[in-house]
């Protein structure tokens, strides 16, 4: 299937949600679903759903709805989940360990190859059969393994250094949990999870609602 | 200062980033900054910055730039950080513990009052002087304390139940880490951190870039 180019970021950001809902429908043995039913579940309007899915090709069938299995597999394809991604986690604190423990990521194609930390109390501990290694081993590890995604869970003061090491050794995807904006070359993709920004957004909306009541 | 109503979600989502950068400038004793300099640091265009900050009032001064301290304090106000928010964490797994350990949240006004879990192996353990309690205590705790924000870090299968308990006991803000969309009444604000959606976005962008190279 040909992907159309220039899909907007807004559509891309909605695709993982379609993927999640469709995977649940599949689990519940639902064969097909109309854009209206999908809309009730997912909270986007039916016309939004039809428009989004049309960006990627002709999925629906008038009066029949979407074939759940086919749509799921197409969206998996579009998301690049027909491939496997090798990942490493740098920083084995709480966030790093939480991510290492998410078995769902492995199921959808993200294979965790290694976990690295500077803390000697952590090295040697195993998470899901993967031993936490000293961060001094990281460079060699990157040279010997084909790592697609580096997951940065170190304190912000070390994040750029770790990022540079990953990028200089060919890692093209960075999933960054450090509360800092990292500088990377143009051919590297960064996706940030900035928790405090999310919390501040919540506070703003709470506060705004109270102002409206007054 | 009067807040103008109907600020777009896009602007709101950028405010925490301004807040973070300004707090760093303050720490480095920077007194004032032009929109151009701020633009170089933060990565938004100078005109975007001027436009964003104009939504909230007249901060800048022609030829002088922004007073960092004043702008920081105004943005803190706008974000509702002049108030304190009482929070509880439900689910003391890795994510819950990670959040409990972020001292930065406390510094900007989010006070952690309690942590709850179903696992008897966790109850009694202290995180930053707060003892993890059995989740059976949660309802009474909510009745006795004025909790603003409930942070949901339980597995998705329990998330709606926990959310209902919070909402039925007056909690108006939900910070949800469970990979599920929770149903809440219209007067409750939900902010989701859906990690797998973030990872899937990264995979999509990585994959798209490779397709373009081919």
State yes or no: pLDDT of A117 exceeds 90: yes
For residues B208 and B95, what is the distance between their CA atoms, to the nearest angstrom?
A: 30
Say if residue B186 is in the same domain as residue B89: yes
- Residue B40's pLDDT is 86
Give residue B3's pLDDT band: very low, low, confident or very high (50, 70, 90).
very low
Cβ distance A187 to B209 less than 8 Å, yes or no, reads yes
Considering only CB atoms, which chain A residues are within 8 Å of B27?
none
* Smallest Cα distance from B127 to chain A, Å: 12
**Cα nearest neighbour of A105 on chain B:** B196
Q: Extract the tokens encoding B55.
A: 């939504």
For an interface test with B, which of A7, A52, A80 has the most B Cβ atoms less than 10 Å from its Cβ? A80
For residues A41 and B18, what is the distance between their CA atoms, to the nearest angstrom?
A: 35
Share of chain B above pLDDT 70, in %: 93
Share of chain A above pLDDT 70, in %: 93
* Smallest Cα distance from A155 to chain B, Å: 11
| Cβ atoms of B73 and B22 closer than 8 Å | no
B104–chain A Cβ distance below 8 A for any pair: yes
State yes or no: pLDDT of B2 exceeds 50: no
Cβ distance A196 to B15 less than 8 Å, yes or no, reads no
For an interface test with B, which of A4, A13, A94, A197 has the most B Cβ atoms less than 10 Å from its Cβ? A94
Q: Number of structural domains, chain A? A: 2
Say if residue B51 is in the same domain as residue B114: no
Q: Evaluate whether residue B100 is within a structural domain.
A: yes
Of A53, A78, A103, which residue constitutes the final position of a domain? Answer: A78
State yes or no: pLDDT of B85 exceeds 70: yes
| A84 vs A9, higher pLDDT | A84
Q: What pTM was estimated for this model as a whole?
A: 0.84
Say if residue A90 is in the same domain as residue A115: yes
B196–chain A Cβ distance below 8 A for any pair: yes
Say if residue A95 is in the same domain as residue A191: yes
Q: Chain A window 154-173: which residues touch B at a Cβ cutoff of 8 Å?
A: 172-173
**Which residue in the set A19, A80, A208 is minimally distant from B206, CB to CB?**
A80
Considering only CB atoms, which chain A residues are within 8 Å of B85?
203, 206
Compute the average pLDDT of residues A82-100.
Answer: 93
Compute the average pLDDT of residues A22-48.
Answer: 88
Considering only CB atoms, which chain A residues are within 8 Å of B94?
94-95, 97-98, 101
B209–chain A Cβ distance below 8 A for any pair: yes
Q: Say what the ipTM of the complex is.
A: 0.85
Of B55, B78, B101, which residue constitutes the final position of a domain? Answer: B78
**Cα nearest neighbour of B195 on chain A:** A193
3-state SS of chain A is CCCCCCCCHHHHHHHHHHHHHHHHHHHCCCCEECHHHHHHHHCCCHHHHHHHHHCCCCCCECCCEEEHHHHHHHHHHHCCCCCCEEEEEECCCHHHHHHHHCHHHHHCCEEEEEEEECCCCCCCCEECCEEEEEHHHHHHHHHHCCCCEEEECCCHHHHHHHHHHHHHCCCCEEEECCCCCCCCCCCCEEEECCHHHHHHHHHHHHHHHHHHHC
Say if residue B107 is in the same domain as residue B59: no
Q: Evaluate whether residue B34 is within a structural domain.
A: yes
Radius of gyration of chain B (CA): 20
Cβ distance A205 to B191 less than 8 Å, yes or no, reads yes
Domain span holding position A63? 9-78
* Smallest Cα distance from B142 to chain A, Å: 18
Q: Which domain CATH number covers A52? A: 1.10.10.10
- Residue B52's pLDDT is 86
Considering only CB atoms, which chain B residues are within 8 Å of A93?
98
Q: Evaluate whether residue B206 is within a structural domain.
A: no
Compute the average pLDDT of residues B111-134.
Answer: 95
Q: Chain B window 84-103: which residues touch A at a Cβ cutoff of 8 Å?
A: 85, 93-95, 97-99, 101-102
Compute the average pLDDT of residues A164-193.
Answer: 96
Q: Which domain CATH number covers A138? A: 3.40.50.720
Looking at every residue in chain B, the average pLDDT score rounds to 89
pLDDT 10s digits, B15-68: 898 998 998 899 999 999 888 888 888 888 888 888 888 877 666 666 678 888
Of A60, A78, A96, which residue constitutes the final position of a domain? Answer: A78
State yes or no: pLDDT of B135 exceeds 90: yes
Cβ distance A191 to B208 less than 8 Å, yes or no, reads no
- Three-state SS at B34: coil
Say if residue B15 is in the same domain as residue B63: yes
- Residue B66's pLDDT is 86
**Which residue in the set B15, B109, B201 is minimally distant from A204, CB to CB?**
B15
Q: Evaluate whether residue B212 is within a structural domain.
A: no
- Residue B82's pLDDT is 82
């Amino acid at each position: 299937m040909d992907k159309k180019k220039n899909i907007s970021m807004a559509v891309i950001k909605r695709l993982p949600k379609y993927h999640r809902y469709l995977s649940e429908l599949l689990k519940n043995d639902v064969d097909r679903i109309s854009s209206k039913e999908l809309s009730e579940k997912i909270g986007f309007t039916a016309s939004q759903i039809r428009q989004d899915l049309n960006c990627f090709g002709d999925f629906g069938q008038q009066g029949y709805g979407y074939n759940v299995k086919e749509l799921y597999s197409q969206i998996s394809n579009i998301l690049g989940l027909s491939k496997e991604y090798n990942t490493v986690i740098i920083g084995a604190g709480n966030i790093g360990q939480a991510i290492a423990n998410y078995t769902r990521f492995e199921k959808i194609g993200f294979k965790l190859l290694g976990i690295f930390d500077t803390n000697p109390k952590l090295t040697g501990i195993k998470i899901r059969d993967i031993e936490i290694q000293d961060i001094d081993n990281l460079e060699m590890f990157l040279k010997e393994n084909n790592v697609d995604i580096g997951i940065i869970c170190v304190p912000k003061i070390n994040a750029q250094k770790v990022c540079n090491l990953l990028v200089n050794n060919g890692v093209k995807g960075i999933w960054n949990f450090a509360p800092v904006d990292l500088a990377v070359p143009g051919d590297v993709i960064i996706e940030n999870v900035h928790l405090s920004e999310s919390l501040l957004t919540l506070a703003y909306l709470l506060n705004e609602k109270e102002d409206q009541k007054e």
